[in-house]
Amino acid sequence: MEEPFYTYDEFPENLSAEAGMKVIYGKDEMGITCRPDVVYAVKDGMELHLRAMLPTVLNASRRYPTIFHIQGSAWLQQNLNSHMGDFSPLVKAGYAVILIEYRYAPAHRFPCQVEDGKTAVRYVMDHLDEFPVDPHNLFLSGDSSGGHTAMMMAATWNTMEFDAEKTPLPALNGGIDLYGSVNCLTMNDAPSAYDHMAAHSAASNYLGFCPPDDPAECQRRMPFFYIHEDTVLPPLLLMHGSKDRTVPFTQSLELYRHLKAMGKTAEFYKVKNADHGGNVFYCRATLEVILDFLNRHLA
């Protein structure tokens, strides 16, 4: 017997009724598929991976707006599992989330992380047959050191700086910076649990020197100094905890003031009493803000 082939729409529904049988009228909500990691590049002998969380619906040909997220790690080795569960509401709302692994300090310092982020986005754009990504609705996101990397990527997106391939990148719809450091030179100007100018600090480990030892080179590694009036920049969303002991709240405040002065589109939210990350940044209130920002900037 030849096995028949049916599409979902063609397959006949069973309409049987039975006493005592109950019926659930389910909504066609998004499911979530977590893809196996994909190697997007090998650099300096290190395999670099993408981890994709994708919406699943009955329409297999559908493409989704996509968030490329840089997981924070103090620029050390990332744990890509850190926020996978936290991203679930975004995926169920119809957004693909692709986590990007980068080369990490101290073996790999600036600008490796920025270059790797751009390489990863290009890889996905070159493999759209493998990823259900909508190339016209792309967002960058990052938390902590990942916020720094995402903002460096956004600020230099339309230039050839810190770009290993130097081929055109797709347009961005927006960027999200969650409690990222943007100007290491001013991190000690606000209360903090750390001395960010010390030789053992995360910033010094990433830069390869203490920030005050070479202010000009430090500026070259900070997104703040790449945003000018003529910089092409997508709309940005900044969120930072008011009691962040690791990256001072003033880092995002400083960036927001600069963005406004340069005439850029930006939204800034102080997350009341939040420390450096944590569950508060993935509660309903903050996720609603993030989803609203994403939805308003779809093409």
Comparing CA positions, the residue from 196, 195, 278 lying closest to residue 244 is 278
The confidence band for 58, taking pLDDT boundaries of 50, 70 and 90, is low
Residue 38 CA, distance from chain mean position: 17
pLDDT of residue 247: 96
Nearest Cα neighbor of 100 from 138, 71, 58, 63 is: 71
β-sheet bridge partners, residue 52: 98
CA 236, CA 180: separation in Å to the nearest integer?
13
For the domain spanning 31-296, the CATH number is 3.40.50.1820
pTM of the model: 0.92
- pLDDT(28) > 80: no
Higher pLDDT, 3 or 228: 228
Q: What is the three-class DSSP state of 53? A: strand
> What are the tens digits of pLDDT across the range 39-56?
999 999 999 999 999 998
> So what's the pLDDT on residue 3?
87
Model pLDDT for residues 263-292, shown as the tens digit of each residue: 999 999 999 999 999 888 899 999 999 999
Nearest 10 degrees: Cα torsion 216, 254, 203, 68: -110
More confident position, 220 or 47? 47
* 166: confidence class by pLDDT, cuts 50, 70, 90: confident
**Token pair of 27 as six digits:** 């909504």
The amino acid occupying position 259 is L
Q: What is the pLDDT of residue 96?
A: 98
C-alpha to C-alpha distance for 180 and 146, rounded to whole angstroms? 7
Residue scoring higher pLDDT (138 or 59): 138
From the list 152, 135, 141, 64, the residue with the least C-alpha distance to 100 is 141
CA torsion 290-291-296-297 (nearest 10°) is 70
At 57, the pLDDT band (50, 70, 90 cuts) reads confident
